[in-house]
Amino acid sequence: MNATLTLISDQDTVLSYLDEARKHHTQATIAKYLDIDVRTVRRWETRQTPPPAYLVHALQQLLPFGEDRPKGTFDFIDLFAGIGGLRKAFEQIGGRCVFTSEWDGYAQKTYAENFRDGHPIAGDITQVQATDIPDHDVLLAGFPCQPFLDWGVQEECLGKAHGFACETQGTLFFDVARIIEEKRPRAFLLENVKNLVSHDKGRTFEVIRRTLTEDLGYHIHYRVMDGAHFVPQHRERILIVGFREPTAFDFDALPLPPKGVHKLKDILHRTDGSEPVLPWDEERFFNHKIKRTQDKYTLTDNLWLYLQNYAAKPKAKGNGFGFGLVKPETWRVLYPRAITRTDRKSWCIKARAKIPAD
């Protein structure tokens, strides 16, 4: 099967925000806000030089808050949205988010900072009537994964029932299903932990598969994929895509980047003098004078010594409470499969030479 995967670059995204910002502000206003020369903005507009991709967030802040956003090539909704990771990807290919649901208060605050649309963030999706959700073409839902984690995590550490038996989170898939049934989107993307496939000897996933195909009449495809293809983290997740009509979709046709290309240093602040100055951050995170993150984000010598000593005690007893140390060149930061009372780990980034590698 021949298929083409179209990718929209960060460059396209920042240019689209620049064009939208220019509908509301002069070049001089934009230049002043970004603390750059107005001629630089002019060169961006005429496509003589490309604007840095990191300016997307700053340009978002220049758009009118609460006004209708430009219509996209398709509309989508963002359920169990977290801080908006799925939304960012779908906006980059021309989508427009018309509804968001996320119950965690801290995630809501971060989401609202990342995306200043003006539309409210719905909380508990179980309290939202499907008829009140706007019509949309695509439904996105990273429905809660905790009920489908390994048994040790859910029962021992979290103290909750497992799978669909978890009354607070295990049944939220069926809220996704009722919305699909009511709104009949053209397509959906669901995301969860890879254990969803094997949970309860496959019976949990069979219920999900039957609901989506036999009850709702969608054509589904699924694949467990590792985030290490895209980011420096080993994080396996199942992706379930569904289409209202038969579609020539094939996971095998998607060209995945090789693992190990992206290193941890790619997402860290740069200490070689090339870290961009972001006026809206107001030096909250990075000190450009000394070319490193603010001290409060780095372990002190005393805390570093305490952490090592604290790890030694449970290790001597055969338990795994401790820490992992990763370097900027690391490409595979592990995501713990199980976090129980006797096996907990925090990850630390080696930032200074005085911190030993071992």
Catalytic residue annotation: 145
CA distances from 157 to 67, 195, 338, 339 (A): 44, 17, 9, 7
Characterize 206-234 residue by residue with b for buried, 16 or more Cβ atoms within 10 angstroms of its Cβ, and e for exposed.
Answer: eebeebbeeebebebebeebbbbeeebbe
- Interaxial angle between packed helices 27-34 and 10-22, expressed in degrees from 0 to 180 and rounded to the nearest 10: 120
Is the CB of residue 81 less than 8 Å from the CB of residue 71?
no
Characterize 259-289 residue by residue with b for buried, 16 or more Cβ atoms within 10 angstroms of its Cβ, and e for exposed.
Answer: eeebebbeeebebeeebeebeeeeeeebeee
Whole-angstrom distance, CA of residue 303 vs CA of residue 202: 45
- Interior angle at CA 193, CA 133 and CA 168, nearest 5: 55
Q: Which residue, 105, 56, 58, is CA-closest to 83?
A: 105
Tokens standing for 10?
Answer: 């960060």
